[in-house]
Each structure stands twice: as C-alpha cells, then as structure tokens.
Amino acid sequence: MGKKRKLFCEISPLTYKISVAKCKLTRILKDAIFSRHIAKTKKTEPLPVIIYAHKSIIRRRLGNVNMQLQENKAVNLNIAAPKVSGIIIKPGETFSFWKMVGSCTKLQGYKSGLIISKGVTDEGIGGGMCQFTNLIHWLVLHTPLEITEHHHHDGVDLFPDFGRQVPFGVGTSIKHNYLDYRFKNTTDMAFQLIVYTTEEYLCGELRAEKPLAVKYHIKVENEYFSKEEGGIYRNNTIFRQCIDKSSGNLLEEKLIKQNYAKVMYDTKNTISIKP
C-alpha cells in the first residue's frame, strides 16, 4: 500500500497558513451573504422561562497541564461571557459564537490559555473558548434548537476525567473564524442565551418565551476502555431522548455520537480496561 498523500495544508507551515487564510476568507464571504439571518439582538431582561441551565468548573486539573493556563482561561472567559450573554435568537435566526465573541487578542486583554490543535495540547491567546462552546452545546442539546455547525476533537482522549459532568465526546472544537459553533432556531418562539462567570464556574441558561411540551435527556451506552494493538481506546455511544412531559412517553431517540478515541494519558491504576 502506497504512502498516504499529504493534504496541501500539511505540506509545510506556509501551506498551512495559506489554507487557514483561504478558510477565513471563505467564511467572511459566506457570512456577508448570510448575515441577515444571524442573531444580533441582545436584551438585558431575561425571557421568562428557563428551558435548561448548567454550569462547568473553570479551573480543572487536566493531567500535567500548567494550572496557570487555567487561571488565564478564567480571565478569558470573564472577557468573552458578556459578549454573548443576553443574545436573543428569534425564529429563523442562527446563533454564531464567533460573530458574538470576535477575535481574541492581547489588545482586548485575553491571555495565553490551553488550546488543542491537531490532537495535541498547545498554548494560544484566548485559550479556553472551547469550554465556552462546550457549555452552549450542552444547553442546546436539551432544546429543540437545530445545531447547524459543530466540530469535534475527534479520535483522542487527552485528559483523565476530573469533575466530569457531561459525557465524554460531547465537546466542541472551534477556531476563529472558520471553525464555528452555530445553531438555528427552527421553532415559532424566541430563545435567549444567558452566560456569566463566578469565581469557580462558567454558568449558562437557555431561556424561552414559554415552556416546552417536551424535555430532552442525554443517554450514554457501551462506555468502556479497550486495550488494543495501538494502545488504550475509550468507547461510548451517546443518544438524545425526547420525552413528552405530560405522559412521560419517549417520543424519539436519536444517535448523537459514537466515540472511539485513543487515550493519550497514563491509565495505570486509574481506569478499568476491558480486555
């Protein structure tokens, strides 16, 4: 079998920069046409009904990652959260994370935080925004809103679990501006995203004008670690259930993600491995 041919972006650092520039320009041109459909209206007064709320701890212990990067992430989230909080997503509109937050630069006060690039950890200005979109994604999964753009950190499990509140594999991958997180309001009422930080947590609420007749539940099946020729792999299958509130009947069960990820940390005495 012949050697796999490299993509243009993989040839050299220069071709990578050219590819990124092309992706950014393509996004700008597409958004210029699509801009009237992107949510822009913000209101300080919250909509009356909380559809779903969640909070995630900001300073997590991620293997051997320098905790100063977690402190810097707290600064970055404090800057970004107010840019998103209060956004109203009207029927037919699409929420865009990068349209709300914009580019994260030193001039705006952002610090160097943890980022994940090509399946490995690194540092970059504004690091920590993935946690922000992870939170938003988890909220959206508990609503009828339609996810229209979502990228994953596929194929690798980089950190041992520490205070995990959501299933492995329900995360997001973003990169300004061409890897975005977006969802569309396909319902007949407005929704509102409220986001804020405390000393310990990034907190979020998805609100609406009236209650929903259904509720959503995320279910994980077949979760295990397997030892294989290439190393240790993490496996699970994630479903979303839609349940009628009045009867409790299951209306729909939909596969969200099937994960098969190589474990990149020392698993000795920390996890149970299925032979």
3-state secondary structure 45-85: CCCCEEEEEEEEECCCCCCCCCHHHHHHHHHHHHHHHHHHC
Stretch 131-140: mean pLDDT: 97
What are the strands of the beta sheet with 231-244, ordered from one edge? 156-157, 250-263, 231-244, 214-228, 273-274
pTM above 0.85, yes or no: yes
Q: What contacts 115, CB < 8 A, 6 or more positions away?
A: 121, 122, 123, 124, 127, 130
Question: What does the mean pLDDT of the chain come to?
Answer: 91
Is it the case that residue 62 has pLDDT exceeding 80? no
209: Cα within 13 Å, side-chain hemisphere: 9
Tell the residue number behind the tokens 């701890």, with chain if given: 57
- pLDDT computed for residue 34 by the predictor: 80
Question: Does residue 268 form part of some domain?
Answer: no
- pLDDT computed for residue 270 by the predictor: 62
- pLDDT computed for residue 14 by the predictor: 79
Question: Does residue 228 form part of some domain?
Answer: no
- pLDDT computed for residue 175 by the predictor: 93
Query: Is 131 exposed, middle or buried (CB count within 10 Å of its CB: 0-12, 13-18, 19+)?
Result: buried
Question: Does residue 90 form part of some domain?
Answer: yes
> To 10 degrees, what angle do helices 67-84 and 129-140 make?
50
- Is 16 or 77 the better-scoring residue by pLDDT? 77
Find out whether 164 and 133 touch, Cβ atoms under 8 Å: no
Stretch 111-131: mean pLDDT: 88
Is it the case that residue 35 has pLDDT exceeding 90? no
Q: Where does the pLDDT of residue 87 fall: very low under 50, low under 70, confident under 90, or very high at 90 and above?
A: very high
Is it the case that residue 33 has pLDDT exceeding 70? yes
Is it the case that residue 144 has pLDDT exceeding 70? yes
Stretch 3-23: mean pLDDT: 77
Domain that holds residue 167: 38-211
Is it the case that residue 49 has pLDDT exceeding 70? yes
Q: What whole-number percentage of the chain has pLDDT above 90? A: 69
Stretch 222-245: mean pLDDT: 94
Stretch 160-168: mean pLDDT: 82
Tokens for 153? 């950190």
The 3-state DSSP class for residue 164 equals coil
Q: How many domains does the chain have?
A: 1
Beta bridge mates, 254: 240
Stretch 8-32: mean pLDDT: 82
User: Can you tell me the distance from the alpha carbon of 58 to that of 201, in angstroms, rounded to the nearest whole number?
Assistant: 5
Stretch 127-138: mean pLDDT: 96
Is it the case that residue 211 has pLDDT exceeding 70? yes
- pLDDT computed for residue 197 by the predictor: 98
Q: Where does the pLDDT of residue 275 fall: very low under 50, low under 70, confident under 90, or very high at 90 and above?
A: low
Question: Does residue 254 form part of some domain?
Answer: no
Question: Does residue 194 form part of some domain?
Answer: yes
User: Can you tell me the distance from the alpha carbon of 188 to that of 186, in angstroms, rounded to the nearest whole number?
Assistant: 7
- Is 66 or 225 the better-scoring residue by pLDDT? 225
Is it the case that residue 2 has pLDDT exceeding 70? no
The 3-state DSSP class for residue 187 equals coil
- pLDDT computed for residue 3 by the predictor: 60
49-57 vs 191-197, strand pairing mode: unpaired
Tell the residue number behind the tokens 């690039």, with chain if given: 117
Is it the case that residue 65 has pLDDT exceeding 80? no
